[in-house]
Structure 1
Amino acid sequence: MLANSSVAQKFVDFVCHGVDDFCNKIVEHLRSEVTKITCREGLSPHAEAELQSLLKCVESPLNFLSSTHRREVFFQKTGLCVLPQKIVLGSRSSTKRTRDGFAPQPAQFSMQLIPLRRSLENLFTSEQISSHVKLPSDALLANPNPTVFTRALDGHHMRSLYRRVKEDYVAIELYYDDIEVVNPIGTKKGPNKLGVFYYCIRNLPNHMNCHSANIHLLCIGYTMDFKECGYEKIMGILQKEFSELENNGFSYNGRKLKVVLLNVIGDNLGLNTILGLKQRFWGVHFCRFCHASTETIQTTFVEDQFHLRSKAEFDNLTDQEREHYLREHGLSGSSVLNSLQYFHTFENYSVDLMHDILEGHGQHIANLVIRHLIRSTALSVDILNRQIAWFPYGRTDRKNRPTEIPADRLRGNPCNTVSQRAAQSWCLLRLLPLLLRRYVSVDDPVWAFYVEFLLLLELLFAPVIAADSLPVLKADIRRHLSQFKQLFPDQQLTPKSHFLVHYPRIIEEMGPPYFFWCMHMEMKHNFLKRYAHINQNYRNLPLTLAKKHQMYAANVVLSGSFIKAELDRGGIEWKVVSAEAWCDSLLLAFPQLSADSLLEATESLTFLGVEYRFGDVLILDFNLDRNVPVLGRITDIVEIEGVWYIVVGILTIRGRDADLNAYAVEPGNMFRFVTPGSLVSFHPLDLYEFDEGMLIPLRHAAQPEQTDQ
């Protein structure tokens, strides 16, 4: 209950008191019975005293947990929970009510910090963490020259850090964001706005870091307090935490393991704020990676043609030159994090698909393309919104179906968005060709531009990216931005559009951006928001939420919940092999079985948090000869000799529909039996049937080769 964000502390108190009262009533009844039996059987007073003493032991069994204070004392003594520490940031003038009215009184303001060393030591006591952590030396030994990027350990940055640190280390990814835990249009939205720092361990597999249990709270406080004392002071406190672990490490398995701040992620404003850059995105020097200006990004679309920011350039400046450099190159000051041995603002290879594309450049393009179609075809805003509302979304797309687009977003002055959340935006961008299939053609240069943009997105969202595809990606981004200016000369490329030119280099340094985007981190907000709503007590929210989160973290360690249930199935039924269309394929793959065999079957299978159901489409392989993925549709899920297999009917690919950016397929007569862990992509896809045939839009580019996800 303490770990559940839907359960308030007062309810835990109520349950503890209720259990104590129930047990005490039973004990009271047993005491009277013991007295009666003692008298009837003639037991000695000593025997009766022993029995009464035993009964006393079960009185109020939860009394030691019956209040918030008692629970905290218990967790501190046992070391099961790493409780937050109060860090005083400053003081401000306040008032205190007295008999004579109100009197001025200084009041401290603070934040809550969860000690990083103790947190890591606590986490690494879990076998789930320690057994899945992959250290840099292991990665270098297993794959000294990676030809594909699947995780941060494949990138140049972690490998170069290993050579600098000269020993194994734990890589920390830090995230910052502001969250509203109350009604965002209410009167309390400002005072209760919180600033939160989370972190994750980039040595863990990607599928673990996508789970909220592996996203940990580092510190939390009121945003207005952070602004009043200055973010540099906040970062100075965090810098001390990382500096200590850089030098001395933490105890793990009988050794000291150093900790390195690998990168900092967040939205663009948050990153600029905590990294000491100016909080503006127009004019000159707005970019974290280069010295671009609003004017130069309209004509230059290749990273090599920009003057890149570098640590070496910054370090070689004298104090006087550095002061001039800060003033002239868009920095509000040198970030205190730069004093760390292995981190520097200009080596923070951080971009974000969520904010840059799904909430930025992608929505801008969708808005412009829809406006163009409304002007040049029979499409109208009403028709578009009817299509959005009545489109037959597949199972996996339905949960993120877009909302109707307000008419004012598509009329009058051009607007940069289509009013969708990030997940809805991704769904809309992918399915827009199917939504508007009767109004589009690649003969239209604007639509051809949009389809090419979708192909670019498929590569950027890929969970594995081949090293030899990066020059192609670089050329595609250059062509895309150039075509944007040709087709929409009156439109300005925004900073979020410009960040695309840096993606190829950042992929080379950090691996696929899909695994370090903010979407994974922002899902953690739901826990804090839900508890704030349930608890309905807004006094010292940072302390309340930090304690609740740490109870949740302790429960994860004790229960071993760092990994979602590896395999979970739905209801069971029995199937006779001979009655199924895949009988012959099964007997070829498993000759030890017969046509009369009975197999357990289920309608759904969940593997590492991803659900697979009848009708879903899977990417099984990559056909190098045709340069297309091998696609299969789930027809059954059966257990064979203790292993669950997904039965997929191989789909025949007729080609790629250029107008709709989807693969045109038809059913085949071959079947394959695959396990969830062997899939090329863990994302199930939806198949859409129209008059044009059966179509499958991809979520990301299929790659010919993939390792760990």
Structure 2
Amino acid sequence: MQLVLLCREQDFKYFGVNKVFAPLIEDLKILEQRGVVTSDGIVLKGSLVAIAGDNLGSHSVGGFLENFSRATYFCRYCEVCRDDFLTNPLSCGTIRSAQSYASNLHEQESTATESVCGIKFDSPFNQLSHFHVCQPGLPPCLGHDLFEGVIAYDLPLYIRHLVEDNNFTYLQLNRCKNQFRYEVNDGKDKPADLSPSSDKLSGHAVQNWCLLRLLPLIVGDRIKDPCENEVWQIILQLREIVELICAPVITEGQVAYLKVLIEEYIDNRTKLFPNAPLRPKHHYLCHYPFLIIHFGPLIRLWTLRFESKHTFFKQCARKLHNFKNLCKTLAERHQLLQAYLSAGNLFPPLVQSEKGTDFHVDDYNDRIRASVASCPFQLQSAVACNYVTVKGTDYRRGMYILLENSDEGLLMGKIMLVIVVHNSVYFVSEKHTFVKLCDTGVYCDLGVAQDNYVCIKQEDLLDYYPLSAYNVYDQSLIALHHSFPEAV
């Protein structure tokens, strides 16, 4: 990620969007029309695909109204009216297009009104040949819409109802949450405490995600008649929606199923809690299936990675204590950092492993020897270890990897040994069959499968993300991080 522009908020408001973004748009026009000539004489042209941001930033750049709590037209994807949304939460207005955008702008200029259908001004990025904010070109951010929006406000509502039904108390919930033994990845984002006086979760986006994922493991045994409890079932429905939306790979069939799930969720939420009004972010969920078809998996476009990038600038501003021409100072410090990073390897090695030992197949039992016999690597150059990082993802002994997804359940492999051969990684895994429990929404281990050892290459996994099993209720349970491609 490279730095393009820095501007103070007060300057942005004073000079306006057109002047601030003018230099960037001129560069993008050159890239579209003339391109860049490589040393081989090849001309490479490019164009803007999408502008990632939270709702406030996207509406500011796109020329839409930024008052989500009171504006009549609050959606940048359709022309839904607030009254229609409150009357029928599943209603969507006419989908916005470049033509309707231009028509609304023309009406706004001719009538000299502040806005028409939620549009205040023409976005400067619409000057580009292959981009328009209504293509759509302003994707949603899962972190803000889901984890700091729908989940942050809906989950406390459901938990309060479960407490009132005497399933548990807030003290018991917080005690169970704090005493829960979080595994490797989940331990980095332990959920924040819940308060009976707060209508919103106090944690950040990933903490709220972690709480929703692991809630069945933390208090699932305390729910009375889980299959008949409507509030508990709507929590499980929300978990399934999040699993599908956060999937890095999703099929068209899953997108269609997601659309049905979202409509059912909003309908159930309205019926169960009619006095708790829905928010605009609930409406944005209705557009997610269409947006996934347009942009692909939305997890690739959320802004949390950019928020992490912003921490460098925030730390510099706090530590330098020099606020004269702050943008120039931050830009210089950032470019010095980029130069330092470019001096060495810009990217870390694809495979990083702990110090292992030379792999001698005769040192292992018959099941491991049989599993590696069919693998095409040279045993002389293999190294055995218990921990490896592949493209930033940590794999440890004892974690589970997906081998097969079928109608009967998930065939998972418990990592018993990691074998590294140059830049290739193989996992010797023990096969386990997991089935989904309808009362908690998690997967339960049925035991070791027949022909129980397999050696598989990391690149051949059905899903890259390793999962940890939790021993709860005398069972080995797994809470999915995201959905997998459906069985063929």
TM score, norm. by length of structure 2: 0.91
SS in structure 2 of the partner of residue 432 of structure 1? helix
Asked whether the equivalents of residues 232 and 336 of structure 1 are also in contact (C-alpha less than 8 Å), the reply is yes
The reply on whether 1:674 has 2:461 as its aligned counterpart is: no
Alignment of 1:535-546 (within 5 A): 535-546=320-331
Change over 3 Å in CA distance of 1:621–1:537 after alignment to 2: farther
Distance 1:449 1:240 in 2: 49
Structure exhibiting the larger radius of gyration computed from Cα positions = 1
Matches within 5 A, 1:505-654: 505-561=290-346, 563-573=347-357, 577=361, 578-580=363-365, 582-586=367-371, 588-590=373-375, 600-623=383-406, 625-626=407-408, 628-639=409-420, 643-653=424-434
Asked if 1:359 is matched to 2:148, the reply is yes
Is the 1:620–1:630 contact (alpha carbons within 8 Å) kept by the matching residues of 2? yes
* Per-residue CA distance 1:219-260 (angstroms, 9 max, x = gap): 112212212222332133332222222222222342222221
Q: Distance in 2 between matches of 1:482 and 1:564?
A: 47
Choose which of 65, 69, 82 in structure 2 pairs with 1:278.
65
For 1:488 and 1:320, locate their aligned partners in 2 and report how far apart those are by CA, in whole Å: 39
**Could you say what secondary structure the match of 1:523 adopts?**
helix
> What root-mean-square deviation, in Å, do the aligned CA atoms of Structure 1 and Structure 2 show?
2.6
**Aligned-partner SS, 2:453:** strand
Q: 3-state DSSP class of the match of 2:299? A: helix
- Does 2:188 match 1:404? no
1:291 deviates by 1.4
User: In structure 2, do the counterparts of structure 1 residues 326 and 225 end up closer, same or farther at CA, with 3 Å as the change threshold?
Assistant: closer
Q: Residue type of the partner of 2:26?
A: K
Query: Cα offset for 1:675?
Result: 2.5
- Please say if 1:443 is aligned against 2:232: no
Q: CA deviation at 1:695?
A: 0.4
Partner secondary structure for residue 462 of structure 2: coil
Residue 502, structure 1, aligned to residue 282, structure 2: no
Correspondences of 1:185-264 after superposition (within 5 Å): 215-252=1-38, 253-264=40-51
Instruction: Give distance in 1, aligned partners of 2:105 and 2:473.
Output: 69
Cα deviation per residue 1:254-289 (whole Å; 9 max; x = unaligned)? 222222111112111111112111111134111001
Partner SS state of residue 685, structure 1: coil
1:457 and 2:242 aligned: yes
Match of 1:661 among 427, 432, 441: 441
The C-alpha deviation readout for 1:533-572, integer Å capped at 9, x for no partner, is 44443332211221122223334444341x3320111022
Structure 2 letter corresponding to 1:398:
G
Structure with greater contact order relative to length (CA < 8 Å, sep ≥ 6) = 1
Equivalent runs, 1:8-27 vs 2, <5 Å: none
- Offset at 1:589? 2.3
Cα distance, 1:486 vs. partner?
A: 0.8
Q: Report sequence identity in percent.
A: 27
| Superposition deviation, residue 586 in structure 1 | 2.4
**Counterparts of residues 85-96 of structure 1 (less than 5 Å):** none
Offset from partner CA, 1:339-394 (integer Å, 9 cap, x none) = 22222221224111110001000112211111111100241111111112111111
List per-residue Cα deviations over 1:421-464 (Å, max 9, x = no partner). Answer: 01111111101111111222121011111101111111111111
Structure 1 counterpart of 2:75: 287
Could you tell me which residue of structure 1 aligns to residue 469 of structure 2?
Answer: 687
Alpha-carbon shift at residue 661 of structure 1 (Å) = 1.2
Residue 518 of structure 1: how far off its partner (Å):
0.7
Shift, 1:641, TM fit: 8.4
Is the alpha carbon distance of 1:225 and 1:649 closer, same or farther for their aligned partners in structure 2, counting shifts above 3 Å? Answer: same
Shift of 1:649: 1.2
What per-residue deviation string (whole Å, max 9, x for no partner) do you get for residues 41-88 of structure 1? xxxxxxxxxxxxxxxxxxxxxxxxxxxxxxxxxxxxxxxxxxxxxxxx
> Any conservation in 2 of the 1:377–1:439 contact (CA below 8 Å)?
no
Distance 2:366 2:151 in 1: 43
CA offset digits 1:470-510 (Å, max 9, x no partner): 22221111111111101111111111111011111111111
Match of 1:469 among 243, 254, 257: 254
Q: What is the distance in 1 between the residues matched to 2:105 and 2:429?
A: 65
Question: 1:21 — aligned with what?
Answer: none
Deviation at 1:691?
2.3
Distance in structure 1 (CA, Å) of the matches to 2:335 and 2:168: 53
Q: Do the aligned partners of residues 397 and 323 (structure 1) sit closer, same or farther apart at CA in structure 2, a change above 3 Å counting?
A: farther
For residue 588 of structure 1, report the CA deviation from its aligned partner: 4.3
CA distance in 2, matches of 1:292, 1:246: 34
Equivalent residue letter for 1:659 = D
SS of match in other structure, 2:270: helix
Deviates more, 1:311-320 or 1:275-284: 311-320
Cα deviations across residues 172-201 of structure 1 (Å, max 9, x unaligned)? xxxxxxxxxxxxxxxxxxxxxxxxxxxxxx
Tell me how far apart the structure 2 counterparts of residues 230 and 592 of structure 1 sit (CA, whole Å): 60
Paired letter, 1:353 = L
Tell me how far apart the structure 2 counterparts of residues 258 and 402 of structure 1 sit (CA, whole Å): 45
Worse-matched range after superposition: 327-336 or 635-644: 635-644
Higher share in strand: 1
Q: 2:124 aligns with which of 326, 330, 336?
A: 336
The DSSP-based 3-state class of the residue aligned with 1:531 is helix
Residues matched between the structures, number = 479
Take 2:41 and 2:142, find their aligned partners in 1: how far apart are those partners?
Answer: 40
Specify the SS of the correspondent of 1:393: coil
8 A contact 2:359–2:383 mirrored in 1: yes
Give distance in 2, aligned partners of 1:593 and 1:235: 55
1:438 alignment partner, SS class: helix
CA, structure 1 residues 244+644, in 2 after alignment: closer, same or farther (shift >3 Å)?
A: closer
Say whether the 8 Å CA contact 1:442–1:659 is kept in structure 2: yes
